[in-house]
Amino acid sequence: MGNKKKRPPDALQKQMEAEAARALGKHVSKRKGRILLAVTLAACALPMLLGVRLWDRIPEIVPTGLIGPDGKDDSLPRVIVVFGMPGLMCLLNVIAHFQLLFNQKHLTLPSRPVRLVGRMGFPVISVLFCSGLMLQAANLGCPLTFVTPCILGLLLLLLGAHMLDCPEDARISLRFLLPQGGDWNAVHDLAGKIWLAGSLLVIGGAMLGAGSVMAPAAVAVLALPLLLAHFR
């Protein structure tokens, strides 16, 4: 009984796994995968700008609020908070991207943790959590002038990623801007690139202390592709 060979998955099961992977939106073109990897890596690293700006206000040892095995606060050195944690997010982001590429190549369903974070999970964690820890360490709280542009920037990131290679049956698209016979791919590709670049600009501006003007900038970046498509 113990020597029975496991039966390989049949063609139907493989097809179901492939369709499930596509339904989860993990299959992208090589070009889109490279663009998203570069942009999300930059987003993961942006909190380092905040840490450099607040370096003198962040204590050398930063309490994390987490309790270690010895019952003491699991504090971290300033350099780890400023550079190590965003750097770790960059590393995990690369691992997630390559894992998704591996699943895509072999037409297999990504594991549950990979499906959970996807290509955008670690940029969100880095921008909100890592920068929030730095602000708390510097006794600045989380002001709306910082949080608002960061959230708007992340929304631009998600929207821009969606617009690259946007399928014609997508529920969220710029279909309403396209004239009869308009170039679907060109319009959505341009919008995706503008929104991805704009997301880094808005988040980076917030990290450098220009958060009060970054929220209007995010709205302007959002409207720019719509105006360009209208006047094409």
Q: Where exactly are the structural domains of the chain?
A: 27-140, 143-232
Does the pLDDT value for residue 18 go beyond 70?
no
Does the pLDDT value for residue 19 go beyond 80?
no
- Residue 73 φ/ψ, nearest 5 degrees: -65, 130
Confidence of residue 108 (pLDDT cuts 50, 70, 90): confident
Confidence of residue 173 (pLDDT cuts 50, 70, 90): confident
| Cut 0.85: pTM above it | no
Enumerate residues 6+ apart whose C-beta is below 8 A from 110: 21, 24, 26, 99, 100, 103
Does the pLDDT value for residue 205 go beyond 90?
yes
Residue pair 43/200 in contact (Cβ under 8 Å)? The answer is yes
Does the pLDDT value for residue 25 go beyond 50?
no
Q: What is the pLDDT of residue 91?
A: 97
pLDDT mean across residues, the chain? 83
The amino acid that residue 168 corresponds to is E
The alpha carbons of the chain give a radius of gyration, in whole angstroms, of 21
Mean pLDDT of 178-201: 83
DSSP per-residue string spanning 26-44: ----HHHHHHHHHHHHHHH
Does the pLDDT value for residue 197 go beyond 90?
yes
**What's the farthest any 2 CA atoms get from each other in the chain?**
72
Q: Among 62-66, 68-72, 74-78, name the one with the lowest average pLDDT.
A: 68-72
